[in-house]
Amino acid sequence: MQIQTPDWVKHAVFYQIFPDRFARTQQSRKFLLKNARWEDWNEIPTLQGYKGGDLWGVMEQLDYLQDLGINAIYFTPIFQSASNHRYHTHDYYQVDPLLGGNAAFMELLEAAHHRDIKVVLDGVFNHASRGFFCFHDILENGPHSPWLDWFKVEGWPLSAYDGNYPANYVGWDGNRALPEFNHENPEVREYIMQVAEHWLRLGIDGWRLDVPFCITAEGFWQEFRDRVKAANPEAYIVGEVWRDAREWLQGDQFDGVMNYLFTAPTIAFAAGDRVDLEQVQDRSYDPYPALFAPDYAQKMQELLKLYPWEIQLTQLNLLASHDTARLLSIAGGDPASVELSTLLLLTFPGAPSIYYGDEVGLPGKLDPDSRRGFPLEAHWNLEVLAYHRQLIAIRHQYRALRIGSYEVLYAEGTVYVFARCLDEEELIVAVNVGTEPAKVHFEVNSLKTQPKQHLYGSAEATWTDELTLSLPARSGSILA
Amino acid sequence: MQIQTPDWVKHAVFYQIFPDRFARTQQSRKFLLKNARWEDWNEIPTLQGYKGGDLWGVMEQLDYLQDLGINAIYFTPIFQSASNHRYHTHDYYQVDPLLGGNAAFMELLEAAHHRDIKVVLDGVFNHASRGFFCFHDILENGPHSPWLDWFKVEGWPLSAYDGNYPANYVGWDGNRALPEFNHENPEVREYIMQVAEHWLRLGIDGWRLDVPFCITAEGFWQEFRDRVKAANPEAYIVGEVWRDAREWLQGDQFDGVMNYLFTAPTIAFAAGDRVDLEQVQDRSYDPYPALFAPDYAQKMQELLKLYPWEIQLTQLNLLASHDTARLLSIAGGDPASVELSTLLLLTFPGAPSIYYGDEVGLPGKLDPDSRRGFPLEAHWNLEVLAYHRQLIAIRHQYRALRIGSYEVLYAEGTVYVFARCLDEEELIVAVNVGTEPAKVHFEVNSLKTQPKQHLYGSAEATWTDELTLSLPARSGSILA
């Protein structure tokens, strides 16, 4: 089978938006909750509080995003949900009224497309919420409900809210707030397929799939792909799979996954011993123990061999998400760890995804802290913003960084050097994670050119028989 | 103020449909619950079971309804709801998927309008359900919810499902399944107004309002009328008010009410001592004790004086509803009680409303029994159906029966005679509820004509100086 993935993803730089926290409209377009008592935008978030971000607010920030170089947005869930993260879907056909509802979303979608910015939504299809209509009917009518076969009811009575009694239905991860669909029921399957098609027909550019590994019904994701691609052949399907995802990346299911297999080694290499274990332990990725360059090279090479190249180019690469602590906090506040990782992110094959706020230096420990309100401009770290802009711009400028080959040129101690090449376009990326300057030299046989022009950073390159690189401490450079 | 009510209502014969129980589509247009295990259609209903009636089913019965003479349908609630009666609204913008969803409703609305059949929906605006999004958010997020002011929360924690603890919020009639809106919140008010406008813009012909007397926020129903009539000046607004409704019928709120002040005396007169008290006691109307003709005449004359004439013509008159036992069961199965009452219903000013199934002799004690599945044709009482057809046809034929004056001519013992007159059109309606034939004679000074042509029944009329009527036992007649 020839594997086909959407071309636009290969050239995309994503921005991940947690809608309750990115931007609150400055205009008064709301008719509901105009005067709501939101949780203070600038205070540390709580697990249950809403800060009142909305899609009109996102619309008002499209200039900002475009200026940053973003050409795709991945929204964590936007559908009607009784939770600030909206992973507890209440209605798959309604954008949350707190966000502006379907009308605001359609307006945003049009505005984004007008700027050639793609929009990918988060599909939570493994489970719904206690308030989701069909499950709610079971809560209200018990064995009389016609929706019984839609969920995994195991006994009576159900106890949806009282933890002192068995729930008597299957909830995701044992959580009774998240009743799991019965995907063996063909009608449930059809329902989910139609939801996916519906939003594609309305114009979205793809689906990010929440915990797709939990849905094990045979052929489910194959059918999902078939129907999504029939609705929009260029739609992007990206699964939340934290580890080896070969099962889903053979071309018949997803175009890519949240590439935590890139995230973890990159943090372990760039931040090294600075990693605050409390922020990463017992998660589904391992940004520790610290890695030196040879190990990092090996991890990247293994990763690049794990999936077909066409898939590699449409992976969703990231340093942080709503499900992790932010890298700045993982790295104990060390700015260089973030910059080095960001450089590696923006020069890796696959679509980089910036978690909102990372680009202005927003810190954040594990949830709920990693979901703070996007800071006021006065609190932005402008240096961080500047290098994000610069690295994104460089990626957009050089096709080699997006779809060129990836070749490790050198990996010793704290120094990691690789090339990205496409036809005549050849770039060298060099990183020294050590706290001392490094000077390395090595033979380069595989390049046609001798890149030495500084695109980023201040490494000095001298070409003789060998390439000699002088790398400041804790720095990274791109040469063309 | 000049009172204006919708002209079409004055000429309407309504049919009240309880959507889960009227008709189940014979075609397979469903994509959800195609193979659901519905409660047996022909078994006595349970409080929580669904029988799976739907709007496609109603569409397939439009021929039947039109043939019966129906030109308006009042649907008990059709919005998404986790209850078979759908008074527990889950979403005011979605027709229940079990009924076919918004698509089926729009198709039905068009088909009905194509036949000049109006469609009135049931608006449950006093309370929502535990699954209604905004209330559900409070259940899920407690004091963090931005929707707090939408309901009447009185303390924490809420106990929505466990009756062992105080609910800590106000439910309609103390029922925690039905959280009451806070109508003092201007946003709640606006939300409800917009719901009402939305469906009118989509083409519905009016709103029947559930327990409107429970909403006491100042000016609420006045604003409701203003906005409804602005959206559709011909829209009908009819409130569920069981007793003296003058408060709402001054022309600035409703066009009419569910006219139980007609229902109760009519049953008490026509069924008399046959009334099964168990089926009527402790309800909000009083179809007992038995009435003789003078008392009945007085009740009807008082009723006709209670509200302006323009309102009288758009009252919704009925003999039974989903909230009462069916008349056949109230009258202990006595067919004449039903026929006499139906005759009085179809000859009274205001729009008669037939509760689905009454026209084929469906029995039914109090809820849930009064909400049976519409019977198979083999179980229809064809005589009952025949006189329904005939009486409806006569009403349609004679404008006097719809908008003519109402004058009591005679009321003694078991005999009640009145005239309906409009210009040259004069009809006499005569009823003898007694078990013996009756012969009565009286002067008639107010008519221009001497009606004696039999439109219905077999009373013999002889005009001399007086009108002499010979009335069989337990019979009613219409003369023109």
- Per-residue pLDDT tens for A197-218? 999 999 999 999 999 999 999 9
What is the rounded distance in angstroms from the CA atom of residue B85 to the CA atom of residue B22? Answer: 12
What is the rounded distance in angstroms from the CA atom of residue B157 to the CA atom of residue B165? Answer: 9
* CATH 2.60.40.1180 at B405-479, yes or no: yes
Distance from CA of A144 to the nearest CA of B (A): 5
Q: Which two tokens stand for residue B405?
A: 């004056």
| pLDDT tens, residue by residue, A359-388 | 999 999 999 999 999 999 999 999 999 999
Burial class (CB in 10 A: 0-12, 13-18, 19+), A457: buried
pLDDT at residue B213 in the model: 98
Task: Answer with the residue of higher pLDDT: B29 or A62.
Answer: A62
B29 pLDDT more than 80: no
| Contact present, A316 and A257 (Cβ < 8 Å) | yes
| A97–B49 C-beta distance less than 8 A | no
Distance from CA of A213 to the nearest CA of B (A): 25
In terms of CA atoms, which chain B residue is nearest residue A91? B133
B31 pLDDT more than 90: no
**Among B240, B323, B358, B426, the one annotated catalytic:** B240
CATH of A7-126+183-397, one of 3.20.20.140, 3.30.1490.20, 3.65.10.10, 3.20.20.80: 3.20.20.80
**Residues of chain A positioned with their CB less than 8 A from the CB of B38:** 146
Note the helical H segments in A15-132: 19-22, 55-60, 62-68, 101-114
Say which of B33, B88, B137 has its CB closest to residue A187: B33
Tell me whether residue A443 is one of the annotated catalytic residues: no
| B32–A187 C-beta distance less than 8 A | yes
Q: Which two tokens stand for residue B370?
A: 């009064």
What is the rounded distance in angstroms from the CA atom of residue B84 to the CA atom of residue B81? Answer: 8
What is the rounded distance in angstroms from the CA atom of residue B265 to the CA atom of residue B60? Answer: 36
What is the rounded distance in angstroms from the CA atom of residue A188 to the CA atom of residue A196? Answer: 12
Tell me whether residue A377 is one of the annotated catalytic residues: no
pLDDT at residue B303 in the model: 98
- The structure's pTM equals 0.95
Is any Cβ of chain A less than 8 angstroms from the Cβ of B187?
yes
Distance from CA of B137 to the nearest CA of A (A): 4
pLDDT at residue A37 in the model: 83
Average pLDDT over all residues of chain B: 97
A26 pLDDT more than 90: no
| A48–B136 C-beta distance less than 8 A | no
B342 pLDDT more than 90: yes
ipTM score: 0.94
**Among B122, B210, B255, B323, the one annotated catalytic:** B210
A21 pLDDT more than 80: yes
Residue B459, amino acid: A
pLDDT at residue A447 in the model: 96
Mean pLDDT of A37-64: 96
Helix A293-306, helix A260-270: angle, nearest 10:
170
Q: Residue A233 contacts by C-beta under 8 Å, 6 or more apart in sequence?
A: none
Task: Tell me the domain boundaries of chain A.
Answer: 7-126+183-397, 405-479
Mean pLDDT of A133-157: 97
| B144–A48 C-beta distance less than 8 A | yes
Q: What is the DSSP letter of B191?
A: H
| Contact present, A47 and A351 (Cβ < 8 Å) | no
What is the rounded distance in angstroms from the CA atom of residue B279 to the CA atom of residue B85? Answer: 20
Residue with tokens 């078994």: B43
Residue A172, phi then psi, degrees to nearest 5: -60, 130
Q: How many C-beta neighbours within 10 Å does residue B356 have?
A: 27
pLDDT at residue A30 in the model: 73
| A32–B141 C-beta distance less than 8 A | no
pLDDT at residue B250 in the model: 96
Distance from CA of A189 to the nearest CA of B (A): 10
Concatenate the DSSP letters of all residues of B309-366 into one string: HHHHTT-EEES--TTS--HHHHTTT-HHHHHHHHHHHHTSSSEEEEETTGGGT----S
Mean pLDDT of B359-371: 97
pLDDT range class, residue B30, cuts 50, 70, 90: confident
Average pLDDT over all residues of chain A: 97
